[in-house]
A = this chain, B = another copy of it.
Amino acid sequence: MKSKGLRITPQRDQVTEIALQQEDHFEIQFLINETQRIYPKISPATVYRTVSTLCEAGLLSETLQSNTGVTLYEVHHSAEHHDHIVCMDCGKIVEFHDEQMEEAQQAVTRKLSFEQVRHKHVIYARCGLLKRK
């Protein structure tokens, strides 16, 4: 898998395993904490380096900013693309996919003579929990 000239080390193993276990979006700090629980002497620098390696390898992707502005990562499911709704009140993140919207994007991009590479589409909304209180 990562046998593309990359060495397999206990540190990378540990970080990779924890990262890939996550079903949700997570921040680097979480990964650092979790890894240090098991492997106390790992350095944050190594986690950063490993995460960017995993991103390049296509196993993770840096998806979005949380409602507080922190960078979040998620396991990259090559399957299908999705976008995000972030709740500004409780921070909850919901994924969605809308084919019609994707097509509209392609249309706009082409109309302006661009070739779309990727996009970042985040809707900031309120789930209503606060209002009900």
Contacts and interface: CB of A to CB of B under 8 A. Distances in A.
Copies in the complex: 2
Contacts of A123: 105, 108-109, 114, 116, 118-119
A114 to B, nearest CB: 4
Interface string A92-133: 001010101100110011001111111111111111100000
Given A100-B104, A105-B101, A121-B121, A128 B112 contact: no
A87 interface: yes
A96 B108 CA distance: 8
A88 interface: yes
17 contacts: A85-B108, A87-B114, A100-B104, A101-B101, A101-B105, A113-B128, A114-B126, A115-B128, A116-B123, A116-B125, A117-B124, A117-B126, A118-B123, A120-B120, A120-B121, A120-B124, A121-B121
Interface of A: 85, 87-88, 94, 96, 98, 100-101, 104-105, 108-109, 112-128
